[in-house]
Amino acid sequence: MSIPADSTAIRPRVLLKVLIGAAIYVAAVRFLMWFVENHPDSRWRIPAVVAPIAATGILVAAAMLNARGMDERDLRVHLEALAFGFLASLVFVTTYSFLWLAGVVSMQFELLSIPMVIFWILGLGVALWRYR
């Protein structure tokens, strides 16, 4: 499955930035969790907890700006990719939650974004292949 280099639906450089951003995000969240757990009396505790929300907001704004520059086929590609990513993530999170309730796995909320990104990329690949 090859991704066309000139498609506005996905540019390899953008995909690389998304993956690097996701990795930095997970590392930052893990650091903030360590900070919150080990500094329970710090006045920076609450800002540290809400900091990832600001980063997520910037990501959403960047994604929306990028979507405005796409043509109709590429918007369709992303709609299908997001639909797949959302529904597959829903199935994953539900399954993970039941396994957590059963005591099979430990809950690590900060890692839930990784399968979401993976499912989105999978959906993107399928949609690009369909409208190749």
Partner 1 sequence: MKNRLRILRAEREWSQQELADRLHVSRQTVNSIENGRYDPTLPLAFRIARVFEQPIETIFEDEA
Positions touching partner 1 (CB under 8 A) are 4, 6-9, 71-74, 76, 130-132
CB of 45 to partner 1, least distance (A): 47
Structure tokens at 47: 């800002």
Contact 120, 85 (CB under 8 A): yes
Contact predicate 82/1, CB 8 Å: no
CA distance 36 to 25: 16
30 or 130, CB closer to partner 1? 130
Q: How far is the CB of 66 from partner 1 (least distance, A)?
A: 14
Determine contact, residues 70/78, Cβ cutoff 8 Å. yes
In the complex, the smallest distance separating the C-beta of residue 43 from partner 1, rounded to whole angstroms, is: 50
Shortest Å, Cβ 96 to partner 1? 35
Shorter beta-carbon distance to partner 1: residue 17 or 73: 73
Closer of 30 and 73 to partner 1 (Cβ): 73
Rounded Cα gap, residues 110 and 20, in angstroms? 16
67, 75 contact by CB (below 8 A):
yes
Of 70 and 93, which has the nearer Cβ to partner 1?
A: 70
